[in-house]
């Protein structure tokens, strides 16, 4: 059964710092990996989707990488801002149409 | 505007009283699914649907039912809710079950007393 782990569980940084969030998964037979953002009490906003054949995707200050063979993905946030404060979730899409989520990294960016 | 909508957004009910949470998407997506989110457990898939009249169990289907009579709607039914079904529920949709990203609704916070 697929298991997704996100490290760290929480992270606090000052504004302007570059940071990396980590995601690892146990079964490398995936279709894709998706990073989401969740604000408190709100739904999930899709940030980046990486297909299994891709190595990375970029959107603005965000860059996500995927190393399928080692079961790892990273989300790089450049020049962090207070508005980036949220919980970041990693999810992998595998067989049987399932989407397995990690428990998330809670990010706080202080001014 | 492309979106997934859920109703109600908040619901407090009592044990055993049947309820339905509706989910609708306006993107003509084939794939829809339901998740629950609990502290310390993260998001877990309850049921999913590959297309009209095609549904299947996710990781935690016990105590839930779904139906997919129309492409845009995917209601979640709790025939006899229990307190352990108190949770935050999300509906999601995507073009298919593999390559495309999933879009999530705003969530329904359910409390069963």
What pLDDT digit, counting tens, does each position of A13-63 carry?
Answer: 999 999 999 999 999 989 899 999 999 878 899 899 999 999 999 999 999
Instruction: Please answer yes or no on whether B103 and A46 come within 8 Å at the CB atom.
Output: yes
Q: What is the pLDDT of residue B98?
A: 66
B45 has a chain A CB within 8 A of its CB: yes
Q: What is the pLDDT of residue B93?
A: 93
Over residues A51-103, the pLDDT tens digits come to 999 999 999 999 999 999 999 999 999 999 999 999 999 999 886 567 899 99
Q: Do B48 and A97 touch (CB under 8 A)?
A: yes
Question: Are B98 and A43 in contact (CB < 8 Å)?
Answer: no
Q: What is the pLDDT of residue A39?
A: 93
Res B112: pLDDT: 97
CA dist., res. A9 & res. A106, Å (int)? 6
Which pLDDT does position B26 carry in this prediction?
95
Q: A8 preceded by cis ω (within 30°)?
A: yes
- With CB atoms and an 8 Å threshold, state whether A98 touches B41: no
Alpha-carbon distance of B82 to B112, in angstroms, equals: 6
Determine how β-strand B10-13 pairs with β-strand B108-112.
parallel
Best B21, B42, B93, B95 member to test A by mutation, with max A CBs in 10 Å, is B42
User: How many CB pairs (< 8 A) connect A and B?
Assistant: 60
> Would you give the distance in Å from CA B76 to the centre of its chain?
5
State whether residue B2 sits within 8 Å of chain A by CB. no
The predicted structure's pLDDT at residue A80: 97
What does the pLDDT read at residue A93? 87
Which element (helix H / strand E) includes B47? strand B42-51
Would you call A101 exposed, middle or buried from its count of C-beta atoms within 10 A (0-12, 13-18, 19+)? buried
Compute how many other C-beta atoms are within 10 angstroms of the C-beta atom of residue B28: 10
Determine contact: B19 vs chain A, CB below 8 A: no
| Closest Cβ opposite residue A99 in set B45, B50, B106 | B45
pLDDT, averaged across chain B: 93
- Secondary structure of residue B81 in the 3-state scheme: coil
Contact at CB, B101 and A34, closer than 8 angstroms: yes
Distance (Å) from the C-alpha of residue A70 to the closest C-alpha of chain B?
21
Residues of B in contact with A34 (CB under 8 A): 101-102
Predicted local distance difference test score (pLDDT) of residue A98? 75
Write out residues in chain B with pLDDT < 70, as ranges: 97-99
Of the pLDDT bands very low, low, confident and very high (cuts 50, 70, 90), residue A106 is very high
With an 8 Å Cβ cutoff, is A59 touching chain B? no
With CB atoms and an 8 Å threshold, state whether A32 touches B99.
yes
Residues B18 and B91: their CA atoms lie apart, in Å, by 19
Counting residues of chain A whose pLDDT is more than 90, the rounded percentage is 81
């Amino acid at each position: 059964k697929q298991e997704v782990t996100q490290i760290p569980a929480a992270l606090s940084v000052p504004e302007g710092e570059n940071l990396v969030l980590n995601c690892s998964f146990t079964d490398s037979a995936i279709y894709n990996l998706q990073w989401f953002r969740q604000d408190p009490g709100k739904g999930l906003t899709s940030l980046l989707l990486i297909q299994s054949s891709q190595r990375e995707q970029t959107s603005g200050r965000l860059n996500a990488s995927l190393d399928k063979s080692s079961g790892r993905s990273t989300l790089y946030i450049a020049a962090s801002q207070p508005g980036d404060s949220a919980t970041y979730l990693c999810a992998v899409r595998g067989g049987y149409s399932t989407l397995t989520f990690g428990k998330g990294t809670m990010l706080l960016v202080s001014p | 505007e492309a979106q997934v909508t859920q109703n109600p957004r908040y619901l407090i009910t009592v044990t055993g009283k049947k309820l339905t949470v509706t989910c609708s998407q306006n993107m003509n997506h084939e794939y829809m699914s339901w998740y629950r989110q609990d502290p310390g457990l993260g998001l877990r898939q309850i049921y999913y649907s590959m297309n009209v009249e095609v549904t299947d169990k996710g990781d935690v289907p016990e105590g839930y039912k779904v139906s997919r009579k129309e492409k845009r709607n995917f209601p979640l039914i709790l025939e006899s809710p229990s307190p352990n079904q108190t949770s935050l529920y999300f509906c999601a949709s995507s073009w298919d079950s593999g390559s495309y990203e999933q879009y999530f609704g705003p969530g329904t916070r359910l409390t069963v007393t």
